[in-house]
């Protein structure tokens, strides 16, 4: 027993390896927990989208008034008449769909609301292979009866290119900047993604308010991170056992 104790005392405990293992395991466990949080968020999102499929369209004005007082706006189906939307000026927002790359046309719609005067409308998707665009006619005020889904704008990330205002190339839905560029006063803090067409005679513009399929693999990812943390712990335990036996 004395010889064993003396041997262990002469051997340095692998402190650096232990600290590195704890840090790595902590990161892996945090990633697994984060994926579980994302799982709960994704399941709530999918439930709201499923409920949206059968929800009737509500008048936009009262929904915006509710939003101004802290109400829920995301994934609500609404209807509105937009004067001149079919011939309105637009911004080109880069987008990728299942069919490939392209852009989405963003225009402003005048609304009747106690607080907001306009709302940005995502009119639909145009594939990169199509160079034509709908005509713009500021004198055309023909009302367009539109049904769509309210969507909160996605935040730009560190990989999102900056918007090119001069070239009209947009990569993130910056409501304030887009509204200023379109000269749209008092914009609502949400976007209306069209389900019905603003240009029925121009079939290249395809309203697509939601992705065709929203993947949900967060549980798989969480189990992967937790599994890696468990494997790391097992490897560390084996190395510690060898140190003890040496």
Structural domain of residue 177, as residue ranges? 57-194
Q: Judge whether 201 lies within some domain.
A: no
Query: Within this chain, do residues 67 and 186 fall inside the same structural domain, yes or no?
Result: yes
Angle at 67 between CA 110 and CA 44, to 5 degrees: 120
What proportion of the chain, given as a percentage, has pLDDT over 90?
Answer: 37
pLDDT for residue 2 is more than 80: no
146, part of any domain: yes
**Same structural domain for residues 98 and 168?**
yes
Of 29-33, 42-46, 81-85, minimum mean pLDDT range: 42-46
Q: For 208-244, write each residue's pLDDT tens digit.
A: 776 656 777 888 888 899 899 999 888 888 888 887 7
Note whether 102 and 10 are same-domain residues. Answer: no
Give the total number of structural domains in the chain: 2
**Is pLDDT above 90 for 44?**
no
CA angle 83, 134, 58 (to 5 degrees): 40
pLDDT in tens, 106-121: 999 999 888 899 999 9
């Amino acid at each position: 027993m004395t010889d064993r104790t003396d041997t262990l005392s002469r051997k340095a405990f692998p402190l650096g390896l232990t600290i590195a293992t704890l840090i790595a395991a902590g990161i892996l466990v945090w990633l697994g927990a984060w994926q579980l949080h994302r799982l709960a968020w994704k399941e709530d999102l999918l439930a709201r989208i499923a409920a949206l499929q059968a929800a009737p369209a509500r008048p936009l004005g009262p929904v915006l008034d509710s939003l101004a007082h802290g109400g829920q706006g995301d994934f609500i189906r609404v209807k509105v008449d937009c004067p001149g939307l079919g011939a309105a000026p637009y911004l080109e927002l880069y987008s990728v769909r299942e069919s490939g790359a392209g852009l989405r046309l963003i225009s402003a719609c005048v609304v009747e609301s106690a607080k907001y005067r306009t709302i940005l409308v995502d009119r639909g998707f145009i594939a990169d292979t199509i160079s034509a665009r709908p005509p713009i006619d500021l004198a055309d005020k023909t009302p367009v009866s539109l049904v769509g889904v309210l969507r909160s704008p996605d935040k730009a990330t560190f990989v999102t290119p900056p918007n090119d205002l001069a070239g009209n190339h947009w990569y993130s839905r910056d409501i304030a900047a887009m509204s200023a560029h379109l000269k749209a006063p008092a914009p609502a803090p949400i976007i209306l993604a069209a389900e019905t067409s603003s240009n029925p005679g121009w079939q290249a513009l395809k309203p697509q308010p939601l992705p065709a399929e929203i993947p949900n693999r967060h549980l798989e990812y969480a189990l992967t991170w937790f599994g890696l943390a468990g494997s790391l712990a097992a490897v560390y335990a084996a190395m510690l056992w060898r140190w003890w036996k040496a």
